[in-house]
Structure 1
Amino acid sequence: MSMSICDLDLVAGVCHVHLNHAGDSPMPKEVVRAVVDHTELEAKVGGYRAAEIAAGRLEKVYLSLSRLIGASDPGPQDPRDEIALVESSTVAWTRAFYSMVETKEKELLRMSFPPQKELVILVSEVEYGANVVAAVRFARDHSTINARIKWKVLRIPSSVACGRKTGLVDLPTFKSMLDGEFPLVEESSTTTYLDPKSIAIVCLTHIPTNSGVVNPAREIGEMISDYNKRHTTQAGKLPLLYLLDACQSVGQMDLDVKELRCHGLCATGRKYLRGPRGTGFLFVRYEIASVLEPSHIDHAAAPVKQVITNENSLVGLGGKQEYQRGARRFEFWESNVANRLGLGLAADRALSIGMVTIERQCKQRGRFLIEQLGAIDGVEIHHVHSSNCGIVTFAVAGVDAIEVKRRLMKGFLIGDKLHCFHVSTCPGTSTPLDGVDRDILRASCSYFNTDLELTHFCDSLKLIADESRD
């Protein structure tokens, strides 16, 4: 009898092994229950009344996420003012990025400086494709709009080991960028040096989507912090900004924004954190958020105080534009309350297990998988020497990545059970500066995957690799 993949869930004796936690990790039962319960409450009393009933629990979500990333130490600042709840990590990143660079640009336009000023956006070589697209388009468009400012995007070179790039930011090279010693070859073939004062923002992807590389986010944060101390800025002005994309590390790594020293951090709910799809959050340090002007707003982020109009039908807002406190200015009025409650419970679960424990177990399983895959002829692991988390990416010689994924999902009979393995593929465009020109496979383990599951996975992959050579 022919069966579809969906039919396998209904057949006894089928074992599904989820190895796509970097894409979407299964939600714990209490998270599902919270989402369903609130949705059922909305069906009974309506969304607005349900939100009022859940208001106290919703506020706790901010505290849970703040604790998760180490932003909630006792102090005068309410940690809830540093968290914004949004729909995804990309939404969080773009709201922070556009606000940061546009506010930087406005600062310069209000100052007296030479006719043209160059501003630079630094990105890592494993920067997520969506981030690269946004940065390049902003630089292109705003260099055209404002003749006085020329924006450019530069990549921070990766280190090299065993004759290959590691994907890791090369720290000595990054230091040279901050010290004014990084050479730039102009079109005239003359060599100039990057002016560190021109750097507006450093964008770093902590763990990329296409490998297990873990960038030295803390060391980079320390360098930027030291630079900002040496080049003190005027009160109320922005320093050299540091935006960390932690989409793959939140829920997998033990993070502390005080140690990372980032000004902004974005994350999703659906990956290692095991929250609902369509959730994410943004951390922005309070003193930075208070200076930023959001690139997009509604009347929740920027409450209307006074509307002015005249006989010519012109409409304006009276008084100085005021925003919500801290990071709350990056939120919009409409939201999925049920999913946000689920996100909070996912954070609580991770905290109850302990992020140190989760990180250790993810790394152990990643190393185990690398060892097992490394023993299979025809399997090439991407960034094998610099991978250090639960994500492992690879290619099988002679077999297209999508075909390998399909065969793994179709399943292999091991003992008396059909084992179906859920992995994902990463196109080269997902991390366009990393030099990968083909689709590769991604197996991402979490703390609850077992060594036996990984062994069965590698045994099944070996069958595919062996068949390709026959």
Structure 2
Amino acid sequence: MIDLLTLRNDTPGTRHVVHFNNAGASLMPQPVIDAITSHLTLESEIGGYEAAQLRQDATQQFYTSTADLLNTTAEHIAATANATDAYARALSSIPFERGDVILTTVNDYVSNQLAFLSLQKRLGVNIVRAEDSPAGGVSVEDMASKIKALCPRLVAVTHIPTNSGLIQPVEAIGQLCQEADVLYLVDACQSVGQLPLDVNQIHCDFLTATCRKFLRGPRGVGFLYVSDKVLSSQLAPLFVDLRGAVWESADSYQLLPTAQRFEYWEFPHALLQGAAQANRYALSVGLETIARRNSALRENLCSQLNQLPDVRLLDEGERLASIITLFSERKPAADLKSALLAERINTSLSDHGSAILDYDRKGITTAALRISPHYFNTEEEITTLVDTLTRILA
């Protein structure tokens, strides 16, 4: 059961804005804010190195709490600057050769697609995108067929795209990868914090995410999960530093046995401690509870948005998450966003350049308005949003 009063009292931002941009950066709860500011104050008083030493147990909670979110252990978690940073470190650890296949989807995140193209240009790997099913989302059958026929070096899937509420069948694809002994990389940037995640059920070798979105943590910190298979295979990022390896002699080094080999020595202790509190907060509310609440909010909001004139909701798929993309024939999405912001209602844009394959198929050549409710939003805020859009479109 959601205790909305407590949740909103914990969230000072709700007193200033109606926030439907949780897929961009959610509103931080007070325990997260307190953890960050407390450590920054300590750094200002006694010094950065000294504060890190004194609060090392609080920083370590980032690893244990992130592991709890994913049903794993702290040894499999690496702290990164953001999700793209985590993704790049994972990709750089794979010894790609010319002709290797990266099997992905048409709905993978734009930065991931760009990384694949960069590997194609520099190393000569082949990018293959599995077909979508008629209902929307990648076809598991086509994935199975292509894994069997192509023997890919890597399968990479974005759990929930930035431009859609689509939930991809990452568990079913993971089962295929496990059976074929293929490396599997999952981008969980938009799913962590709004859906229960279990890396053992997903069967992924890498999982990346940021802390600023539905987890409600601070900007500037993310994480990377790596499997036992990755660690035992001695995979490591292309550029390791003294955090991830020991310099044994002039010409040799030894990797650390844990996911720490994917880290760099310098990272923001205050943000990690804030992220740890965000993890604990999500776990205390309950990921199943959050998922049910968000599903109800989405259903309520979509039913009202569908009544607006000359509006299309672009999201397709058998399962949909808490991202709604709206296209209006009457006003450009940028104008809608600006008008809503003037009323202290936060949304964001999903432009054509971030989803070329998906938006070309849907006939979208500009941008869509992205609306992303979260469990602390109220039904009254949904009404406010819809009423304001009605006025704007009129």
Whole-angstrom distance in 2 between the partners of 1:300 and 1:178: 36
Equivalent-residue separation in structure 2 for 1:175 and 1:300 (angstroms): 38
Work out whether residues 36 and 338 of structure 1, in 8 Å CA contact, stay in contact via their aligned partners in 2: yes
Q: Specify the alignment match of 2:103 in structure 1.
A: 122
CA distance in 1, matches of 2:221, 2:314: 29
Asked if 1:302 is matched to 2:245, the reply is yes
Is 1:347 equivalent to 2:316 in the alignment? no
Equivalent residue, structure 2, for 1:177: 146
Amino acid at match of 1:47: G
Report what 1:451 is aligned to.
379
What is aligned with 2:368? 440
Q: Which residue matches 2:31? A: 30
CA distance in structure 1 between the partners assigned to 2:316 and 2:185 by the alignment: 26
Please give the secondary structure, in 1, of the residue aligned with 2:133: strand
Cross-structure match for 2:8: none
Tell me the SS of whatever aligns to 1:250.
coil
Structure 1: how far apart are the matches of 2:355 and 2:327? 16
Cα pair 1:367 1:388 within 8 Å, conserved: no
- TM superposition score normalised by structure 2: 0.92
Distance 1:387 1:406, change over 3 A: farther
CA-to-aligned-CA distance 1:87-112 (integer Å, 9 cap, x gap):
10110111101212x2x54xxxxxxx
Q: Which amino acid aligns with 1:68?
A: L
Does structure 2 conserve the Cα–Cα contact (< 8 Å) formed by 1:211 and 1:387? no
Partner of 1:64: 65
Per-residue displacement from partner, 1:375-398 (whole Å, max 9, x unpaired)?
111110012454611110111112
CA distance in 2, matches of 1:276, 1:203: 26
Counterpart position of 2:176: 223
- C-alpha separation between the residues in 2 aligned to 1:275 and 1:225? 32
1:89 is aligned to 2:13: no
Partner of 1:185: none
Q: Distance in 1 between matches of 2:287 and 2:217?
A: 15
CA offset at residue 257 of structure 1?
0.5
SS at 2:390's partner residue?
Answer: helix
In the other structure, the counterpart of 2:128 is 154
Cα pair 2:243 2:260 within 8 Å, conserved = no
Q: Which residue of 1 aligns with 2:391?
A: 463
More helix by share: 2
What amino acid does structure 1 have at the position aligned with 2:191? S
CA contact (8 A) 1:122 1:153 kept: yes
Alpha-carbon distance in structure 2 between the residues aligned to 1:153 and 1:367: 36
CA distance in structure 2 between the partners assigned to 1:222 and 1:384 by the alignment: 24
Match for 1:93: what amino acid? Y
Correspondence for 1:192: none
2:118 to 122, 125, 137: 137
Alpha-carbon offset, residue 226 of structure 1: 2.0
Distance 1:454 1:216, change over 3 A: same
Percent identical pairs in the alignment equals: 34
CA 1:459–1:15 in 2, change beyond 3 Å: closer, same or farther?
farther
| Cα distance in 2 for residues equivalent to 1:289 and 1:243 | 14
Deviation track 1:183-242 (CA, whole Å, cap 9, x = no partner) reads xxxxxxxxxxxxx32x100110000101100001111111111223xxxxxxxxxxx111
Q: In the TM superposition, what are the counterparts of 1:370-409 in structure 2 within 5 Å? A: 370-384=302-316, 386=318, 388-409=320-341
Number of the residue aligned with 2:160: 207
Match of 2:347 among 423, 426, 429: 423
Instruction: Indicate the larger mover: 338-347 or 366-375.
Output: 366-375
Unaligned ranges ≥5, structure 2: 1-14
Cα separation, partners in 2 of 1:154 and 1:384, compared to 1, 3 Å: closer
CA contact (8 A) 1:370 1:384 kept: no
Give me the whole-angstrom Cα distance separating, in 2, the residues matched to 1:457 and 1:216.
Answer: 31
Report SS of the residue matched to 1:278: coil
2:293 paired residue among 338, 341, 361: 361
Aligned AA for 2:392?
I
Which letter maps to 2:382?
Answer: L
Cα distance, 1:296–1:342 mapped onto 2, change above 3 Å: same
Cα shift at 1:158: 1.0
Listed one character per residue, the Cα deviations across residues 326-383 of structure 1 (whole Å, up to 9, x for unaligned) are: 2111100111100000000100010111111011111111121111111111110012
CA deviations 1:112-137 (Å, max 9, x no partner) are xxxxx621011211111111111111
Distance 2:355 2:75 in 1: 32
Normalised by the length of structure 1, the TM-score is 0.77
3-state SS in 2 of match to 1:305 = strand
Counting matched residue pairs gives: 375
Residue 190 of structure 2 corresponds to residue 256 of structure 1: no
For residue 148 of structure 2, what is the amino acid of its counterpart? D
Correspondences of 1:190-339 after superposition (within 5 Å): 196-197=150-151, 199-228=152-181, 240-290=182-232, 291-307=234-250, 317=251, 319=252, 321-339=253-271
Distance 2:262 2:214 in 1: 24
CA shift digits 1:15-70 (9 cap, x unpaired): 62100000000111111011001001001110111001111121121010001011
Letter in 1 for 2:222: G
Q: Which amino acid aligns with 2:377?
A: N
- Could you report, residue by residue, the CA deviation over 1:400-432 in whole angstroms, capped at 9, with x for unpaired residues? 111110111112xxxxxxxx2100001111123
Question: What is the distance in 2 between the residues matched to 1:293 and 1:67?
Answer: 23
Aligned-partner residue type, residue 301 of structure 1: G
Question: Does structure 1 retain, via aligned residues, the 8 Å contact 2:205–2:229?
Answer: no
What do residues 309-331 of structure 1 show as CA deviations (whole Å, max 9, x unaligned)? xxxxxxxx2x4x31122211110
Of structures 1 and 2, the larger Rg is shown by: 1
Checking the alignment, whether the CA contact within 8 Å between 1:243 and 1:264 is kept in structure 2 is: yes
- Report the 3-state secondary structure (helix = DSSP H, G, I; strand = E; otherwise coil) of the residue aligned with 1:23: coil
Match of 1:111 in 2: none
Q: Which amino acid aligns with 1:283?
A: Y
Partner AA of 2:307 in structure 1: A
